[in-house]
Every structure is written in C-alpha cells, then in structure tokens.
C-alpha cells in the first residue's frame, strides 16, 4: 500500500507552522509525499476577506519548492463551488486507486469538530486522519471524541503533537497590516511575494 498525506488549509498565507507539521507527519507516519491542497471557497471561513486562490496557490508553491516530498494540488482552487473535504477525498481516491492509503492532516481543533463537516461518517471511512495538537489544546477531550468515532465508524485516527510553534496566518496578516515584522515566521520567498503584491494591507 502506498501512503500519501494530504494537508488542507486556506494557507493565507502558508507559514512555518504548516510546514513543520507536514514534515513531522511525513517522517513519523512514513508517508511517500505530502500534497498541500489550498482550499477554494472554504465552508468554515469568510471567503470575502480571503486572498485570491491564485495568490494562495503561488505562496504555497513558493513555500514547498525546497522539499522534494512536498507537492501542491490545484484540485480545490479549480473548483468554483465550496470546497468540501469529502468531495476532494473522493476525487483523489479515484485518481490514486485502491492501493493508496490517504492520510488527511489537520489541526486537532478542526478534527474535534469533524462532526460539523459535510458527510463525516463517509469521510471517516474513506481516509485516515492525523490530528495535530497545538500547545494548550485539551487532548483528553479530543481522545474521548476519537474513541467515539473509532467505535461508531471504525475510523482510523491518529494524534500527533507538534513543537510549540505559536504561528498563525491571522497573526501574520495582522502584523503585515500594522507594518510589523514577519521575518522567521514564514519562508522568505512568501514574505517577498506578500510585499510585492501588497497583500493584507
């Protein structure tokens, strides 16, 4: 069986928190590669204030180019409708076939709310999940919920804890707006792209 990781997100912008998480999961779970999937129109976020799909896609490409195990997929940004994970996973399952196990990587906070996603039962049957806990997250609460998913839907869910990188896209956008430095929070090429294209002002 081939093992491939999928890292979904708005990546507005992509930062070292995302990259460290993806690389850690890749090595820890022996994944062949990680495919970053910038969302098109995300169901949970305000798409009006979101940067264009093109800008987010280019920033994701720039950030991942130095890692031979990272790829970027346009699957969601090419879709003009809301990006539901279930739809994306079904399409990727068709592309990769039954000899590939897909691991969807997500923050533990998002994983905790998976029952609010579209078709959670079907989704949990289609692919494995890896939830990353950020510092301060109540892991006990999550574990109880995961036990429930495992029992009810025979879900395949893992938890991993990533190093304390308190970086978020929201904080980076705020810093840019206020003229504060974002150095060392995200790859330099992405930082230059943001300034050159006057994003987040």
Q: How many residues make contact with ligand ATP (CB under 6 A)?
A: 19
Per-residue contact track with ligand ATP, 148 to 167, x per CB under 6 A?
A: --------------x--x-x
Cβ at position 12, least distance to ligand ATP in Å: 6
Q: Which stretch binds ligand ATP (CB under 6 A): 68-76, 80-88, 105-113, 121-129?
A: 105-113
Q: Which stretch binds ligand ATP (CB under 6 A): 23-31, 82-90, 168-176, 181-189?
A: 168-176
Asked if 21 contacts 103 with a C-beta cutoff of 8 angstroms, the reply is no
**Taking Cα atoms as reference points, which of 125, 84, 117, 79 lies closest to residue 101?**
125
Cβ at position 165, least distance to ligand ATP in Å: 4
CA torsion sign, 96 to 149 to 116 to 142? Answer: negative
Per-residue contact track with ligand ATP, 36 to 75, x per CB under 6 A?
A: ----------------------------------------
The only residue of 10, 83, 85, 88 in contact with ligand ATP, by rule CB under 6 A: 10
| Residue reference for tokens 């910038």 | 38
Burial class for 24, CB neighbours closer than 10 Å (0-12, 13-18, 19+): middle
**Taking Cα atoms as reference points, which of 91, 21, 196, 17 lies closest to residue 5?**
21
The smaller minimum CB distance to ligand ATP, of residues 49 and 98, is found at 49
**Taking Cα atoms as reference points, which of 91, 118, 65 lies closest to residue 6?**
91
For the beta sheet containing 128-133, the strands, ordered from the edge strand earlier in sequence to the opposite edge, are 70-72, 33-38, 2-9, 100-107, 128-133, 157-161
The smaller minimum CB distance to ligand ATP, of residues 97 and 136, is found at 136
Task: Give the interface with ligand ATP as residue ranges (CB under 6 A).
Answer: 9-12, 17-18, 21, 106-107, 109-110, 132, 134, 162, 165, 167-170
């Amino acid at each position: 069986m081939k093992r491939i990781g999928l890292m979904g997100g708005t990546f507005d912008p992509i930062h070292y928190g995302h990259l460290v998480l993806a690389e850690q999961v890749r090595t820890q779970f022996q994944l062949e590669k990680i495919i970053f999937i910038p969302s098109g129109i995300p169901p949970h976020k305000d798409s009006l204030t979101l940067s264009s799909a093109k800008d987010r896609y280019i920033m994701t490409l720039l950030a991942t180019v130095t890692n031979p195990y990272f790829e970027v997929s346009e699957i969601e940004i090419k879709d003009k409708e809301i990006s539901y994970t279930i739809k994306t996973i079904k399409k990727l399952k068709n592309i990769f076939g039954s000899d590939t196990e897909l691991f969807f990587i997500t923050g533990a906070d998002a994983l905790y709310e998976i029952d609010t996603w579209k078709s959670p039962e079907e989704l949990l049957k289609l692919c494995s999940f890896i939830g990353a806990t950020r510092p301060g997250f109540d892991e006990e609460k999550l574990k109880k919920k995961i036990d429930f998913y495992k029992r009810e839907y025979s879900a395949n869910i893992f938890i991993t804890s990533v190093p304390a990188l308190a970086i978020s896209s929201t904080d980076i956008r705020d810093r840019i707006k206020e003229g504060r430095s974002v150095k060392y929070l995200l790859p330099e090429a992405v930082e230059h792209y943001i300034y050159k294209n006057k994003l987040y002002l």
